[in-house]
């Protein structure tokens, strides 16, 4: 009551009673702590008691730390600038900004607000921008943005496209078809003129036709299926019929520099450049290529060298040394077969034999 108001004219009995009431209201735990505090004053010194308790219980503020915390505060998603400023005011109380308090809050709004539109409008204000004008401008901008969103929704939910990027075509993993391929199957104007596939254009460095030779015109950097040349005669290596033991195998080309018939084949899940040899009765790779396939984790079943079977090159009477064999899934494009490969000692060009090539559709017998 009024009898406990302390001023210069208050009697000592009233001051003593108010100090006792303060300690009584704080409770026995605070009373025990108070009895250990220094500089508590006389029993009639109420101000000394309050100062001693505040010194003990109120945490000491570190202005430097408080400023670092203040400058890290950013506007949250969905938070208005007014709500953002309220949080900044609370954080600024311990920063000891003094007369520069409002300017610090204004700068924090300008730096950490989420809307570029609000930031642009604030910067347009120039030197006259203070905290009060910041709140007025930000409120107006937020209302305009809300109204524009409502109008856009009323027109049927139109979406503004800010940027369109051409997604680079990614070469499909060997043995797997691109899931999005069928979506654009009929969109011929978007297909690549080099390989015929969709999802990229001819200038794409990842086009599978880059570096390949057309089997129709022998031109470079395109496939036969999209070739515009009028030359339609297939190129077939010359073959001579020779009466031989049916248990033997023959390879038309093992060594040579002519790689016009090279084709990328998926062998056991590993991409391998092979020459289509219309005169070969077997699929052949050398031991160095076999080691490369193994290091690439080829999926296959390997076997020892077949007994009683000999492998000859064209026009040679001496057989090649066969190290072993393996069978695996072999594919090109959408076609795949189980095929056997013979592994020879020495060095040679990987050959795709006639039968496997025909099954895969990369070679057709015209007879």
pLDDT in tens, 277-320: 877 888 899 999 999 999 999 999 988 887 767 777 765 667 78
Average pLDDT value for the chain: 79
DSSP string, 138-183: HHHHHHHHHHHHHHHHHTT---------PPPP-PPPTT---TTTGG
pLDDT at 190 over 90: no
Its CATH architecture, for the domain 249-360, is Beta Barrel (2.40)
Asked whether 352 and 265 are in contact (CB, 8 A), the reply is yes
Q: Give CA 18 to chain center in angstroms.
A: 69
pTM of the model: 0.34
* Per-residue confidence (pLDDT) for residue 145, from 0 to 100: 87
pLDDT in tens, 138-178: 999 999 988 888 887 766 555 555 555 656 666 555 655 54
pLDDT at 87 over 80: yes
* Per-residue confidence (pLDDT) for residue 277, from 0 to 100: 82
Comma-separated ranges of CATH 1.10.1200 domains in the chain: 63-151
Looking at the domain 63-151, which fold is it?
A: 1.10.1200
The answer to which of 101-110, 263-272, 346-355 has the lowest mean pLDDT is 346-355
Q: Which two tokens stand for residue 319?
A: 């057989």
For residue 251, the cross-strand partners are 313
Identify the band that residue 187 occupies on the pLDDT scale cut at 50, 70 and 90. very low
* Per-residue confidence (pLDDT) for residue 367, from 0 to 100: 54
pLDDT at 243 over 50: no
The more confidently predicted of residues 214 and 173 is: 214
* Per-residue confidence (pLDDT) for residue 315, from 0 to 100: 58
Comma-separated ranges of CATH 2.40.70.10 domains in the chain: 249-360
**Where does residue 197 fall: left (phi above 0), alpha (psi -120 to 50 degrees), or beta otherwise?**
beta
User: Once rounded to an integer, what is the mean pLDDT over residues 9-36?
Assistant: 84
């Amino acid at each position: 009551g009024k009898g406990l108001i302390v001023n210069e004219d208050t009697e000592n009995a009233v001051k003593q009673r108010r100090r006792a009431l303060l300690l009584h209201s704080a409770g026995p735990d605070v009373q025990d702590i108070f009895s250990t505090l220094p500089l508590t004053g006389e029993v009639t010194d109420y101000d000394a008691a309050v100062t001693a308790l505040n010194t003990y219980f109120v945490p000491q503020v570190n202005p430097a730390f408080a400023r670092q915390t203040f400058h890290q505060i950013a506007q949250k998603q969905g938070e208005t600038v007014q709500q953002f400023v309220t949080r900044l005011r609370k954080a600024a109380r311990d920063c000891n900004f003094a007369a520069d308090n409002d300017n610090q809050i204004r700068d924090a709004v300008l730096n950490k607000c989420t809307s570029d539109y609000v930031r642009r409008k604030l910067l347009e204000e120039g030197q006259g921008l203070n905290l009060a004008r910041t709140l007025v401008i930000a409120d107006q901008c937020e209302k305009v943005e809300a109204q524009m969103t409502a109008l856009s929704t009323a027109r049927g939910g139109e979406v503004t496209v800010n940027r369109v990027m051409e997604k680079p075509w990614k070469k499909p993993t060997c043995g797997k078809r691109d899931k999005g391929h069928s979506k654009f199957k009929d969109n011929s104007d978007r297909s690549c003129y080099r390989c015929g596939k969709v999802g990229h254009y001819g200038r794409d460095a990842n086009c599978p036709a880059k570096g390949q030779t057309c089997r129709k015109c022998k031109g470079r950097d395109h496939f036969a299926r999209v070739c515009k040349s009028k030359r339609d005669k297939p190129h077939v290596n010359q073959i001579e019929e020779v009466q031989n033991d049916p248990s033997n195998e023959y390879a038309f080309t093992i060594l040579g520099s002519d790689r016009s018939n090279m084709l990328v084949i998926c062998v056991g899940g590993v991409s391998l450049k092979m020459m289509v040899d219309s005169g070969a009765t077997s699929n052949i790779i050398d031991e160095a290529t076999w080691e490369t396939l193994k290091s690439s984790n080829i999926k296959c079943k390997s076997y020892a060298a077949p007994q009683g079977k000999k492998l000859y090159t064209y026009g040679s009477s001496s057989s090649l040394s066969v190290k072993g064999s393996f069978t695996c899934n072999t594919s090109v494009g959408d076609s795949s077969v189980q095929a056997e490969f013979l592994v020879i000692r020495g060095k040679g060009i990987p050959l795709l034999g006639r039968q496997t090539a025909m099954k895969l559709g990369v070679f057709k017998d015209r007879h």
